Amino acid sequence: MLPAEIFSESRLPPNEAMDAVEVAIARVLTRALRMSVSVTISENMRITAYPETGEPVILSLDAIDRKLRRHLLHQIELELQRRRTLNEADRLRELRGVTAPGVISRITADGALFVSLEIADCYRRLILAGICPERFQPLHERGRYNLGSVKEFYITSVVPVVVNRKSAKVRILLNRTSKQLPRLLLQERSRISGIQCLKRIPGSSSIILTPKRIPKDVINSVGKELEEHLHVSILKTHR
């Protein structure tokens, strides 16, 4: 009943993939037959229905009509996709609160940016899709983005979402207005930790406090990236 590739394409551990299949089949048949159904898969699939009265009934796959089989296969694929998405979201959640460069791949009618992010992850590079809604874009940049241009983004959240009740995916929410963006860009480019951004008016200025001098070329590069002036002060320490 199940194509072999459905498991390999799920990229899930075998036990988890099998559990997803059992859950999906039991859920569909419980609704279709209007009685509790359990499913176990070892060498063979065992489907047991529990009528309100009488003994449990072992169901044969031959007793399931073709239309219901198609629906079962579709729901199995969705359950496998949902679990893969949850696994990916857990693995990628550590990206929240960091910056990443991204290529603008699409601009929607409402101004949202679809961005292709390149992230280094354990000796490999991941290409991930992110979205930056217009509300997270500085006013002076809105309507001025070009397809193919590269910008730095702050990753606000990484969450699994269901699209039209038909598919699941990981949504990476991006931000160009956060005051964390200039702080993190300065830290990454200067290798100086402890930098603070006390206040930011996107597209105008940011007030930066640093424990030691930041090279001028780093300040200029971040200011150019954000198109704003960085007011940098060195934190005074009392001896």
Find the DSSP H helices in the chain.
5-10, 14-33, 66-92, 180-190, 216-226
pTM of the model: 0.68
Q: Percentage of residues in the chain with pLDDT exceeding 90? A: 46
Instruction: Please write the tens of the pLDDT for every residue from 217-234.
Output: 999 999 999 999 999 999
The residue whose two tokens read 């990476």 is 172
Instruction: Please write the tens of the pLDDT for every residue from 137-149.
Output: 999 999 999 999 9
**The pLDDT of residue 237:** 66
Cα 25 to chain centroid, rounded: 27
Q: Return mean pLDDT, the chain.
A: 86
